[in-house]
Amino acid sequence: MKKFKKETIAAKAGIGTDANHGSIVPPIYLSSNFEYEELGKGQEYEYTRETNPSRDHLINALTQLENGVGGEILSSGMAAISLVANILNINSKVILPHDCYGGTHRLFSSLAKKGMLDAYFINQGEESFCKKTIAKINPDLIWVETPSNPLLQAVDIKKISKEAKACDALVVVDNTFLSPFLQNPLKLGADIVMHSTTKYINGHSDVIGGALITNDHEILSKLKFWANALGITGSPFDSYLTLRGLRTLGIRMEKHEKNAAAIVELISTHPKINKIYYPGLPSHPSHAIAKKQQNGFGGMLSFEILGDLEGVKNFIEGMNILPLAASLGGFESLVSHPYTMTHGNLTPDQRKEVGISENLIRISAGLENTEDLLKSVNRGLKKI
Ligand SMILES: *Cc1c(COP(=O)(O)O)cnc(C)c1O
């Protein structure tokens, strides 16, 4: 098949596949089951838990966008992460980022507690990680999440993948924060790329979903087997909505990034702002690596205000058009307070270790008019 650029892949996905009526947009196949054409002969679609045409349209589009050979659509990002955990053998050794997504941490540490596997939560950004730690642990799987939440620290996927190959470990990259438009981990040596499609890919804050894409046929058949065995594939209707969102992902990512960069510029000289975490800033510790392995800096930013919890509260109230909410990647800008929200269940010491202070604020820049957004941030700044 002819190789198209990403925007074209997203726009063309599933178009021209309706042989019955020639509908431009592929219909949603809600049917739970499909009629057998011939007794005793298998066919592509039999039962929707295993395979479904609406899910396949989305899988095919994401597979092309991530340069894979195939993948699976799951009922949530966490279902996708659980699926990876389920293809592992018992007693596997898994290395994860010390500051990974809270749900990932909860799942793997709970599986470890039950004795299913060994989980090692490590700062993958340290010099010694690739040089010594990987070889010393000799893991079966390395889970990577780059850039991290909420400080947007990036790690070198290529370097980690190279070390992982040397000990036959799988590399899985959670690519939720950048989407397939801004980073393609399989091209950098990863074996599986994971998305919470709940975030940028669907982009309209009305679907919970997940995806895994791989470039290895053997891994793919394991993923398909276990997705069906566990019964965690995504619904046809959610797949339809997510593909609808995916069609505009390219243009949305441009605007998300433009709005994030504008906020960064506005606050960068403000006397009430202490530190800014945005990889587009040359002063960010991950600027060079983000520039190397990403196609953009994305729409997320965090910053510390000069002030306490009261100041944070006043800032958030002052911005007024931005809802206080934990998710990200939707059309609407959101503000969150990691210390009490996403990282609220960590101990004070753990929060300190991963750099989450009381005065840290995270913004997921949405698609609003840039001037309106800046006015809102300015109102917040005045209230600190
Ligand atoms: C949201 C999120 C997940 C989990 O996805 P759900 O769709 O909420 O289950 C995993 N990783 C990252 C980075 C996320 O932001």
pLDDT in tens, 106-125: 999 999 999 999 999 999 99
Amino acid letter for position 47? Y
The atom of ligand 1 lying closest to the CA of 197 is 7
* Same domain? 274 vs 228: no
* Same domain? 11 vs 118: yes
Rounded to two decimals, the pTM is: 0.97
pLDDT in tens, 163-175: 999 999 999 999 9
Structural domain tally of the chain?
Answer: 2
CA of 285 relative to ligand 1 center, distance in Å = 24
Confidence category of residue 281, pLDDT binned at 50, 70, 90: very high
Last residue of a domain, one of 194, 215, 246: 246
H-helix or E-strand spanning residue 122: strand 117-122
* Same domain? 81 vs 178: yes
Region 236-245: what's the mean pLDDT?
98
CATH number, residue 368: 3.90.1150.10
- Is the shortest distance between the CB of 298 and ligand 1 below 6 Å? no
Under a CB-based contact definition with an 8 Å cutoff, are residues 63 and 220 in contact?
no
Structure tokens at 237: 């209707």
Q: Is residue 81 part of a domain?
A: yes
Q: Of the residues 74, 75, 78, which should be mutated to test ligand 1's pocket, given the most ligand atoms within 8 Å of the CB?
A: 78
- Is the shortest distance between the CB of 183 and ligand 1 below 6 Å? no
Distance of alpha carbon 43 from alpha carbon 24, whole angstroms: 25
Confidence category of residue 2, pLDDT binned at 50, 70, 90: low
* Same domain? 34 vs 129: yes
Q: Is residue 170 part of a domain?
A: yes
Structure tokens at 107: 């799942």
pLDDT at 3: 83
CATH number, residue 109: 3.40.640.10
* Same domain? 14 vs 113: yes
Confidence category of residue 321, pLDDT binned at 50, 70, 90: confident
In percent, the amount of the chain with pLDDT more than 90 equals: 95
Q: Output DSSP code: residue 144.
A: E
Q: What are phi and psi of 170, to 5 degrees?
A: -75, 145
Region 82-93: what's the mean pLDDT?
98
pLDDT at 354: 87
Q: Is residue 1 part of a domain?
A: no
pLDDT at 313: 96
Structure tokens at 87: 């293809």
* Same domain? 174 vs 306: no
- Is the shortest distance between the CB of 364 and ligand 1 below 6 Å? no
Q: How many CB atoms lie within 10 A of CB 4?
A: 12
Residues recognised as catalytic: 49, 101, 174, 199
* Same domain? 319 vs 339: yes
Confidence category of residue 346, pLDDT binned at 50, 70, 90: confident
How many DSSP H helices and E strands does the chain contain?
A: 15, 11
Domain that holds residue 131: 6-246
Last residue of a domain, one of 185, 211, 246: 246
Distance of alpha carbon 223 from alpha carbon 104, whole angstroms: 18
Atom 11 of ligand 1: nearest residue by CA position: 101
The atom of ligand 1 lying closest to the CA of 329 is 15
- Scanning 141-212, the segments in alpha helix (DSSP H) are 157-166, 179-182
Question: 3-class SS at 374?
Answer: helix
Last residue of a domain, one of 246, 276, 298: 246
Query: Burial, 112: exposed, middle or buried (Cβ in 10 Å; 0-12, 13-18, 19+)?
Result: middle
Which string of DSSP letters, residue by residue, matches 77-109? HHHHHHHHHHHSPTTEEEEEETT--HHHHHHHH
* Same domain? 226 vs 313: no
Using the predicted structure, report yes or no on whether residue 1 has a pLDDT greater than 60.
no
CA of 77 relative to ligand 1 center, distance in Å = 5
* Same domain? 206 vs 340: no
